[in-house]
Chains A and B, each alone.
Chain A
Amino acid sequence: KQEVTQIPAALSVPEGENLVLNCSFTDSAIYNLQWFRQDPGKGLTSLLLIQSSQREQTSGRLNASLDKSSGRSTLYIAASQPGDSATYLCAVRQGGSQGNLIFGKGTKLSVKP
């Protein structure tokens, strides 16, 4: 059974730092991997989606990488800002066209001014 783990559970950094969030999964047979952001009390917003055939995706200050063979993904945030404070979740998609997402429990990021 697929398991997704995110370490650390919480992270606090000063503004301006570059940081890396980690995601690992136990079954490499995935279709894609997504990173999400969740603000307190809100729904999830998709940040980046990496197909299983891709190695990385970039959007602005965010860069996500995927190493399927080792079951790992990282989300790199450059020049962090207080507005980046949120919980970041990764999820892997398995199965066919109806495949479901398996979520990690998230990393709660706090960026201090």
Chain B
Amino acid sequence: DVKVTQSSRYLVKRTGEKVFLECVQDMDHENMFWYRQDPGLGLRLIYFSYDVKMKEKGDIPEGYSVSREKKERFSLILESASTNQTSMYLCASRPVGSGNTIYFGEGSWLTVV
């Protein structure tokens, strides 16, 4: 069965802290994504990666960076967390090909205080 695992479901961090959100998929998918979801704004793409060590900015990359050292793992990094980064973060993966569906993790709720 398809599995996208986000290691931390709930986090509380202080302003200015460095935060790592980890995502692992077990399906050998090439493409991986990080979204954030906020009430009234929907899902917005932060970064995506289509291969190891490759990354592309999404719609709202400011304040975030990513790392993809292995195919199965895609990390989202908040270099210096701020309160406006309090949100639900969703990781997803998808194989290459226009007809393929995307699979989401369960989400990580981040609160920055």
Contact = CB atoms under 8 A, between A and B. Distances in A.
Interface of A: 31-32, 34, 36, 41-46, 49, 51, 89, 91, 93, 97-101, 103-106
Contact of A44 (B41, B98, B104): B104
Interface string B72-99: 0000000000000000001010001111
A43 to B, nearest CB: 4
B64 interface: no
B25 interface: no
Nearest to A36: B104
A97 B98 contact: yes
Interface of B: 4, 31, 33, 40-43, 45, 48, 50, 56, 58, 90, 92, 96-99, 101-107, 109
B33 to A, nearest CB: 8
B104 A99 contact: no
Contacts of B107: 41-43
A41 B103 CA distance: 16
A99 B56 CA distance: 11
10 contacts: A31-B98, A41-B109, A44-B90, A44-B92, A46-B103, A51-B98, A91-B43, A100-B45, A101-B45, A103-B42
A103 B41 CA distance: 10
Given A42-B106, A43-B90, A100-B58, A105 B42 contact: yes
